[in-house]
Amino acid sequence: MSLLELLLDDILITILLYLDYKLILSISKLSSKLLYFCQRNLDNILRQKLSKIISLITRDCNQQQLINLYQSLSYCKNISAGNYTSLILTNTGQVYTFGSNFYGKLGQGDIAGINLPTLIPNLSQVIQISSRYDHSLALIDNGQVYSFGTNEFGQLGLGDNHTRITPILIPELTHIVQITTGSNHSLVLDNNGQIYAFGRNNKGQLGLNNNIDKNAPSVIENLNHIIQISAGNEYSMVLDYNGQIYAFGYNRSGELGLGDNINKYIPKLITKLTQIIQIVAGDGYSLVLSNIGQVYVSGNNDYRQLGLGDKISRNIFIEVPNLPRIIQISTRLDYVSVLATDGQIYAFGRNIFERNTFERNTFERNTFEQNTFEQLGIDCSSIKNITISVTIGSGHLLVLTNNGDIYVAGNNLDGQLGLGNYHRKNELTKLMSIL
C-alpha cells in the first residue's frame, strides 16, 4: 500500500473515530485540493478511490455513509433521476441512462427513448452526475464538466442556447468538485469554494444580483468557503464551511426560509440555522439536515410535504418532530423521503407513485411515517441490504444499497425503471446486474 493510500485510510479512520463537524469540513476542503494536486500522478484505481471519498465527503458529510463507503468502496455507485429519466454512475466511472429522451437528455446521440440501462459512449472517469429535470451534468475526475440535454436558457453553460444530445465539455470550468442541476439552471463548485452559475435567472436563482439569463458560467460574488450546493425549482441554496446556509432566487412559498416571501437576487444568510451538513432545494420547499440528524423544513406545504401535521406553508425553517437520527434527505415534486441510520426509509407528502399523480387527496401524509412506501403501494420487502441512497424522479424511485445493488419502482411509461418494458412496478425490483 502506498503512502498516499495509508494517508487516506488514516483520514477516514480519524473521521469515524472522532466524528467532529468542523473536522469533517476541514478534511473535505483539504481532500478536494489534494485530489487536484495528485490527479495526474495517480493510477486509475487509487484515483477512483480518492475521487469517491472526496465526492461523498463533500456531498453528504455524514457518519453512516462514510462507514458504508469505507466498508464497501469497490461497489460504490451514484444514482440520479430527472423528468421520466434515470442515470446510474458505476464504480468504474461510466454512466448509464434510460427513460424519456426528449431534448436528447439521455446523452446517447439521438432522441429515442430507452427502456434498458444504456452506456453513454465517449464519457468515462465520471465521479458525479446530476439530472433533476431535462438537462444533465457529469463531473469527471480531472475536475472538468460535461453537459447535455435541453438548453433553452443556457443551462448547459456552453455559451449558446442550442440543445445537445451528447455530452459536451464546458471549456471554462476547471478544478470543479461538485455539480448540481435545477429546473433550468446549474451550479458548480470549484476546489477553492467558489461557485459558478449559468442558465435561467428570471427569479434571481443564479445569485448575480439581476434577472438576466446566463449561457456561460458566471462567478457568484461574495460567497466564501462554500462546500455544498443545491439547485431547485427557480432557486438555490449553498452551504459554507461553518455549516451556515445562504439562499437566493424564487421565494413565493417561503422556500428560502428567510422569514418573508420576497425573491432574493443575491445570496442571503439564513441566520437561525447552524451546523448543517446537507441541503436540498426542492420544488417550492426546502429541507436541510443538521450534524446530529435533525431535519428542518420550509416552504410550500399544500400536500403536507413538510411533515409537520398540517397544510400550512412556512417561510422559516421548522424542525420536523418525532424522527430518528437521519442521514440523508431527498425530495421530488411534492414528495419527500428521508433515510435513518438503521437503513429505514421514512416519507411523507403527495403520492407521486400513484397512476393519477395529479389527484390531490390520495395518500397524503401529515407526518413522516416508517414504511410509507408500502402504504403508498410500493413493496420494499425485496431489499435485503442496507439502503444508503434514495433518489426520486417524476413518479419513479431508485434505491441504492450498501453492496451496490440498485432497486427501482413506480411509474414506467417511458422506460425510466430500466427493466426492458413499460410496465409500472409496485414493488422495488432489482435491476439486472449489467453494471
Find out whether 417 and 427 touch, Cβ atoms under 8 Å.
Answer: no
| Average per-residue pLDDT for the chain | 79
219-239 residue pLDDT tens: 999 998 898 999 999 999 999
Average pLDDT over residues 290-319: 92
DSSP labels for 347-415? Answer: EEE--TTSSSTT-TTSS-EEEEEETHHHHTT-B-TT--S-EEEEEE-SSEEEEEETTS-EEEEE--TTS
DSSP single-letter state for residue 34: H
Nearest Cα neighbor of 32 from 4, 3, 61, 53 is 53
Q: Using CA atoms, how far apart are residues 98 and 136, in angstroms rounded to an integer?
A: 13
pLDDT in tens, 357-387: 322 223 344 554 444 444 444 455 555 555 6
Q: What is the pLDDT of residues 4-13, one digit of tens each?
A: 444 454 455 4
Contacts of 318 (CB under 8 A, 6+ apart): 296, 297, 298, 306, 308
Portion of the chain with pLDDT greater than 90, in percent: 48
* Angstrom distance (rounded) from CA 253 to CA 261: 6
Quick check: 228 and 238 in contact, CB under 8 A? Answer: yes
Sheet holding 145-149, edge to edge: 126-130, 135-140, 145-149, 164-169
- Write out pLDDT tens, residues 15-58: 443 344 344 444 444 444 444 344 334 444 444 444 444 444 44
Hey, which residues does 328 pair with through a beta bridge?
339
Angle at 291 between CA 288 and CA 294, to 5 degrees: 55
Give the sign of the dihedral formed by CA 386, CA 357, CA 129, CA 201. negative
Residues 6+ apart with CB under 8 A from 147: 135, 136, 137, 138, 155, 156, 157, 158, 164, 167, 168, 170, 186
pLDDT > 70: percent of the chain:
72
To which residue does cell 468538485 refer?
Answer: 177
What pLDDT score does 363 carry?
35
What pLDDT was estimated at residue 359? 29
Phi, psi of 243 (to 5 degrees): 80, 20
More confident residue, 401 or 105: 105
Q: Are strands 387-392 and 365-370 parallel, antiparallel or unpaired?
A: unpaired
Does the pLDDT at position 272 exceed 80?
A: yes
pLDDT band at residue 394 using 50, 70 and 90 as cut-offs: confident
**Taking a C-beta distance cutoff of 8 angstroms, is the pair 156, 217 a contact?**
no
Residue 67 has pLDDT above 70, yes or no: no
Q: Which residues are within 8 A (CB) of 310 and not within 5 positions of it... i.e. 6 or more apart? A: 301, 304, 366
Q: Mean pLDDT over residues 192-204, rounded?
A: 96
Q: Give, to the nearest 10 degrees, the angle between helix 3-17 and helix 44-59.
A: 20
Q: Residue 84: is its pLDDT beyond 60?
A: yes
pLDDT surpasses 90 at 151: yes
pLDDT of residue 333: 77
pLDDT band for 334, please (50, 70, 90 cuts).
Answer: confident
54, 35 contact by CB (below 8 A)? yes
Distances (CA, A) of 395 to 120, 345, 360, 378, 416: 24, 17, 14, 12, 10
- Residue 275 pLDDT > 50, yes or no? yes
Strand order of the β-sheet with 295-299 is: 276-281, 285-290, 295-299, 314-319
- Phi, psi torsion values for 151, nearest 5 degrees: -145, 30
- Worst-scoring range by mean pLDDT, 103-107, 250-254, 364-368? 364-368
Q: What is the pTM of this model?
A: 0.79
| pLDDT score recorded for residue 297 | 96
Residue reference for cell 410535504: 305
pLDDT at 104: 92
Which of these, 98, 176, 15, 71, lies nearest to 408 by C-alpha position? 98
Backbone angles phi, psi at 54, to 5 degrees: -65, -40
Q: What is the pLDDT of residues 154-194, one digit of tens each?
A: 999 999 999 999 999 999 999 999 999 999 999 999 988 89
